[in-house]
Structures are given as C-alpha cells and as structure tokens.
Amino acid sequence: MSSHHIVRDEQEPALILHQLAARDTGVLHHLLEWSPVVVCCQDSIDLYTSMNHKLDFALVGFPQMEKWKEYLADQQPVKLMAVHGEDFLQTGLMLLARDGHPAVNVITSEDALPEVIGALEQWAHKLNVVIYAGGKRHLFIHSKTYRKWLPVGSVLQLWSLGAEAQWQVRDAQAHVQEFSAAEKHLEIANEGEVEISCERVPFMVVEDL
C-alpha cells in the first residue's frame, strides 16, 4: 500500500476529504504530494482507500463503528473516530484545531459547497481554509486586500459572505461582471498582478483549477 507518510510538518495544510468523487483524483494527488495529515469522512473512505492511499483519521457514524474498524484493519495505525449525526466536517475541523494545524484543504462536492462554506465561516479566524469543489479552488481571504499575478483569460469570482460589499480592483485590465453587491466575476484582459480590495473580511476568491 502506498503511503503519504514521509515527513510531517504541521505547518503544511491538513486535508479533509468531506465528499470525494472520481473527478477529484487530480487535485487529490496534487495535495497528497505535500504529505498532509489526512482526515477522511465516512462517505469518502471507500474511494480513497481503493486508490491505495493511507489515511490518518477516519470519521464514521457511531452505529457503523465496528464495521469500519474491520474494513480499515489494513490501514493501521489509523485513528477511528465515531461521529454522532452528520457532523463529520465539524468533527474534523475541531480535531485539526486541537492538534495545532494552522491550515486545512477540504475536498467536497458542488452540492455540499453551500453547507461547507457555512460551516467553515466560523473557523475562518482560526484556520486558513481552502475548499476544492467542482473543478474550482475557493479561498477564504482574511485580509482586506488580495494580490495575485494572473495570465490573460483568467477568471475569478469574488464572493462577499452573507452581505453586500464594496469592491475595488486595481492593476489589471479586467472585464467585471456584477451579479449582485455580494458577487462579482472578473476576466483578466492583460497578464499582470491583480489587486482586489474588500472592506468585509473574510471574503472568498474562487479560481478555476
């Protein structure tokens, strides 16, 4: 069985597999290159282990605890944790915060994305969080200004979380499409550094992978 257990550094982002699908294989393998601590929620265990990867924590429903203990016997040492109800993501976040991880990547589905963003908002001041869903990277931005060098044709979505916001975009020629006071889309016309400012933090920047 292959393993991502090489050198562990808690400064590297941990990885929560909330809802993993076959289409996520590319981003999964990219994130595993950093040898993260892997927390796997019940719905993702079958697919993840079928790719011969090791996991560190398995979060499973309390009634299925014995079933998963047997299923994951060849994953030892793995920490199996029983979750009451559907609080898999919150349990994973509490676990990582307790163990001192400053950052986490989360892979989930497009359908679960609104729920995941809502759950992660309360953690934004404790953890640096990036969500991968539907072929996009969703970044929680904690400062009022975000800068990045972007090639021509790049598309960004800007989301204000739960409220209207004033946005400023500088230092790049971009076509701006405004969907609401809380959401804008940018298409970069010239290669260069784009600077995005928003007075409400955290806000989200969404990039195509």
pLDDT at 183: 81
Q: How many CA atoms lie within 13 A of 145 on its CB side?
A: 7
Which residues touch 63 (CB under 8 Å, ≥6 apart)? none
Q: pTM for this structure? A: 0.88
pLDDT at 1: 39
Range of the domain at 19: 14-134
Residues 122 and 38 in one domain: yes
Tell me, yes or no, whether 9 lies in a domain.
Answer: no
Tell me, yes or no, whether 102 lies in a domain.
Answer: yes
pLDDT at 10: 56
Residues 157 and 117 in one domain: no
Candidates 170, 14, 185, 172; CA nearest to 106 is 14
pLDDT at 3: 42
Tell me, yes or no, whether 5 lies in a domain.
Answer: no
Tens-digit pLDDT string for the chain (209 aa): 344 444 445 568 999 999 999 999 999 999 999 889 999 999 999 999 999 999 999 999 988 899 999 999 888 888 999 998 788 999 999 999 999 999 999 999 999 999 899 888 888 778 889 999 999 999 998 888 999 888 888 889 998 887 677 888 876 677 777 766 678 888 888 888 888 888 888 889 999 98
d(CA 43, CA 174): 40
Residues 72 and 170 in one domain: no
3-state secondary structure of 55: coil
Quote the DSSP letter at residue 143. S
d(CA 143, CA 174): 22
Residues 30 and 112 in one domain: yes
Residues 125 and 55 in one domain: yes
Tell me, yes or no, whether 197 lies in a domain.
Answer: yes
pLDDT at 5: 41
How many other C-beta atoms can be found within 10 angstroms of the C-beta atom of residue 53? 19
Residues 118 and 154 in one domain: no
* Domain CATH number, residue 39: 3.40.50.10240
Tell me, yes or no, whether 72 lies in a domain.
Answer: yes
pLDDT at 88: 93
